[in-house]
Amino acid sequence: MRTLILITILLLCAGDALARPILHHDLELRLEPAAAMLQVTDRIRFASGELDEAALAVLLHRDLEIQSVRYGGAPLAVEALRRWRPRDFYERPDYAELGAFEVARQHSVTAPEGGWPEGEFELEFVYAGAVYDSLHAPEVAYGRGFESTSGLIDERGAFLSWETFWIPWVGEGRFHYRLQTELTDGWQSMSQGRRVVHEVDGELNRTVWQTEAPQELIYLVAGPYTIREREQAGVNLYTYTYAETPEDLCDTYLDAAGRYLDLYGELIGPYGFSKWAMVENWWQTGFGMPGFTLLGDRVIRLPFIVDTSYGHEILHCWWGNGVYVDYDKGNWCEGLTAYQADYAYKLAESDAAARDYRRNSLTGYLDFASSATRDFPLSEFRERSDFGTQAIGYGKCLMVFHMLEERLGSEQFEAGLRDLYTRFEFQPASWDDIAQIFSELSGEELQGWFDQWVKRTGAAKVSIRSLERDGDKWVLEIGQEGEPYPLEVPVTWRDASGDSSARVVLDGTTATLSLPGDIVSVAVDPDYHLFREVFREEIPATLSQVLGADSTMVVIGRDSPDAMREALRKVAQEWSDNQNMLIVDEDDFDAAAAGARNIFLLGQGPMVDAVFDEAAASLGTAPGELRARATGQTLVACFRDPHDADIARAIVLPASPEVAAAIGRKIPHYTRYSWLLFEGEQNAGKGNWTVLSSPLRRSLEESR
């Protein structure tokens, strides 16, 4: 799921903005969906004494024509520029961050005679035009994501965001707004804020949205919606869905919204908005906005969404849309939201599920972000754009919060988050602010601890240096490579009395722990509580190892029928559009040319048979049993090269040429798994190989 608070990053990271604060927008809007037309009157109230230019620079969508700009009822001169000038909005523009501005056109509004007023004043903009940016597929062929658009008005529904530039934009800032929409043909609108007017006048639906908290941007979603609503503890809960969407599904989302609001209200603090709405979309989205979410019509019917992603989007009303992010110092809210939502749901399921989630986060970092060319510190994370940025901004970030909770205890950790929310509701907060709050609460100086994890690139590298007998005891020596991180390393061991555990303070490169003389096994961080670079040997081979590789080879199986080979070649070509990928037929495969590349084996052939035979040596009968089970189904499986743990081979055996393309698009959604089975295009099974050994475990039974 993608949270659209991140669109504002483009504003906040584009450079040092010039000060032209807007206090309030008062908008009246009409839509003509058949023509993709938009008609708007926007009365903008500016703060006093902030405009000293002879002309006001304004950006608006390039297909919207300004019909008039008035001050005090008198028209002002308006000129449309041929090209927009970033320096009119930023002292030092970051041109690399200005891609979204391409949809806009710059206008120059001449000040009234005598210049801009000293006190607050209002300008009235009237403009109209067509907005239709067709849906775009995700940029990376086998990256995750939904189709996207900067904005469009379609007969099926309308979507307008900051990227649309449908509101006159003069620079960064937070403001309040009132938005009145007048729609026909049964259309309804959704935006931020409270619905203060909702009335039907003949065929005209008139709705007014009014914000309670300052906003950085304005969203508008509209379509032929049926509205269902209820109230819970003063909060209006809505579903805006299409006519064919069953009422019981809407009730499911209303019930879940109530549970999540209760959960996070008690855990963090009172919900800061007057409403929460689930809005259905005709194209597939997973967007979160202040006070509502926009979910695709197929997405809302996925059985797991209510219990996973839906709660994540609601939680963003506390983190990101409730407490804003100081993006200049790094985006902390995605990782914290993932920790208190996605991870917390796994923790509630079982300790094993939570352990797997932590392991998957570490695996994602290893496969997608740990190389020198892709790694970066959390202080530089702004938004997720690919698997690598997700591994850091979500995975590493949530592990930092997990280590903080492990260090302080859940009671202090939750108290600190409540304090963060209370102090910074509807204000920007940074990593430094978080460090200060937890330092004050715990009585520890934690700024240095946070700096290690937030401002440094990389992960801890922990190892067992030695395990040696010392009289009637065993002495375990733990080490870490490179510049040390401040760690409290979990250690577990088993002896005659059962299982025991301890935490070893590892501030430097080595630390020791004395263990009983009768231990039979010992393990260092077996449950993945530390953010560290895991060893390949302690995690199962998963698809992320191949998908995250810097370079990949695709081999088309020799024994596949011609139609299957052609279908698989098309899949490989789609993948290779944005990847460093070499595609060869199996008869042309050259091991020397493959080198250290990870390999996709698409379709039956001798290489697939050889990989399954090799896998039996390390994984027992599991691979062969899985292959037999897959008769009539599509099988996807990943195995490590027995001679080089850094190389993996992923096998894809589609049931038919017809499903090959669909399976190719689905594989990136299952990066954390070792194997997959598909019945047609639907996933029918998934799992991971069992890890039998680890460099962070020692068994003394075997040596006796």
**367 in Cβ contact with 647 (< 8 Å):** no
Other beta carbons within 10 angstroms of residue 351's beta carbon come to 10
The pLDDT of 651-667, averaged and rounded, is 94
Residue with tokens 């008139």: 206
Other beta carbons within 10 angstroms of residue 355's beta carbon come to 16
Q: Which helix (H) or strand (E) holds 616?
A: helix 606-619
Output the pLDDT for position 424: 97
CATH number for the domain running over 324-454: 1.10.390.10
Output the pLDDT for position 423: 98
Q: Is the pLDDT of residue 393 over 50?
A: yes
Output the pLDDT for position 50: 66
For 346, half-sphere exposure in the C-beta direction (CA atoms, 13 angstrom radius) is 17
Q: How confident is the model at residue 8 (pLDDT cuts 50, 70, 90)?
A: very low
CA angle 58, 88, 131 (to 5 degrees): 35
Q: Return d(Cα 400, Cα 407) in angstroms, integer.
A: 10
pLDDT by residue (tens digit) across 220-234? 999 999 999 999 999
Element counts in the chain: helices (H) and strands (E): 17, 37
Q: Is the pLDDT of residue 508 over 80?
A: yes
The DSSP-derived string for 638-654 is EEEETTEEEEEEEEEE-
Q: Return d(Cα 674, Cα 637) in angstroms, integer.
A: 6
Give the CATH class of 543-687. alpha beta
Q: Return d(Cα 522, Cα 510) in angstroms, integer.
A: 17
pLDDT by residue (tens digit) across 461-497? 999 999 999 999 999 999 999 999 999 999 999 998 8
Nearest to 602 by CA among 673, 639, 554, 561: 554
2-224 with 462-538: one CATH topology?
A: yes
Q: Return d(Cα 576, Cα 554) in angstroms, integer.
A: 9
Structure tokens at 69: 């700009």
The 3-state DSSP class for residue 591 equals helix
Output the pLDDT for position 575: 87
The pLDDT of 507-524, averaged and rounded, is 95
pLDDT by residue (tens digit) across 269-286? 999 999 999 999 999 999
Output the pLDDT for position 141: 42
Structure tokens at 371: 């190389």
Average pLDDT, the chain: 93
CATH 2.60.40 is held by the domain 462-538: yes
The pLDDT of 395-419, averaged and rounded, is 98
Q: Return d(Cα 334, Cα 341) in angstroms, integer.
A: 10
**275 in Cβ contact with 295 (< 8 Å):** no
In 355-431, beta strands by DSSP E? 428-429
**416 in Cβ contact with 446 (< 8 Å):** no
The pLDDT of 404-433, averaged and rounded, is 97
Nearest to 482 by CA among 578, 372, 319, 641: 372
Other beta carbons within 10 angstroms of residue 595's beta carbon come to 10
Q: Name the DSSP letter for residue 101.
A: G
The 3-state DSSP class for residue 235 equals strand
Out of 3.30.420.40, 2.120.10.80, 2.60.40.1730, 1.10.10.10, the CATH code matching 2-224 is 2.60.40.1730
In 510-616, beta strands by DSSP E? 510-516, 521-524, 552-556, 581-585, 598-602
Q: Return d(Cα 667, Cα 670) in angstroms, integer.
A: 6
Nearest to 551 by CA among 683, 648, 482, 665: 648
Structure tokens at 503: 């935490």
> Which residues on neighbouring strands pair with residue 177, listed in sequence order?
25
Output the pLDDT for position 702: 54
The pLDDT of 13-28, averaged and rounded, is 78
Q: How confident is the model at residue 364 (pLDDT cuts 50, 70, 90)?
A: very high
**344 in Cβ contact with 337 (< 8 Å):** no
Q: Is the pLDDT of residue 6 over 50?
A: no
Output the pLDDT for position 618: 87
Q: How confident is the model at residue 17 (pLDDT cuts 50, 70, 90)?
A: low
Q: How confident is the model at residue 13 (pLDDT cuts 50, 70, 90)?
A: low
CA angle 230, 235, 239 (to 5 degrees): 45
Q: How confident is the model at residue 592 (pLDDT cuts 50, 70, 90)?
A: confident
Q: Is the pLDDT of residue 179 over 80?
A: yes
Against a cut of 0.85, is the pTM above it? Answer: yes
Output the pLDDT for position 297: 97
Q: How far is CA 166 from the centre of its chain?
A: 25
Q: Return d(Cα 225, Cα 539) in angstroms, integer.
A: 47
Nearest to 8 by CA among 272, 235, 324: 324
Output the pLDDT for position 54: 87
The 3-state DSSP class for residue 210 equals strand
Output the pLDDT for position 691: 87
pLDDT by residue (tens digit) across 662-681? 999 899 889 999 999 999 99
Q: β-strands 104-110, 55-61: how paired?
A: antiparallel
Structure tokens at 318: 């506390």
Q: How confident is the model at residue 18 (pLDDT cuts 50, 70, 90)?
A: low
Q: Is the pLDDT of residue 5 over 60?
A: no
Identity at 261, one-letter amino acid code? L
Segments making up each domain of the chain, as ranges:
2-224, 324-454, 462-538, 543-687
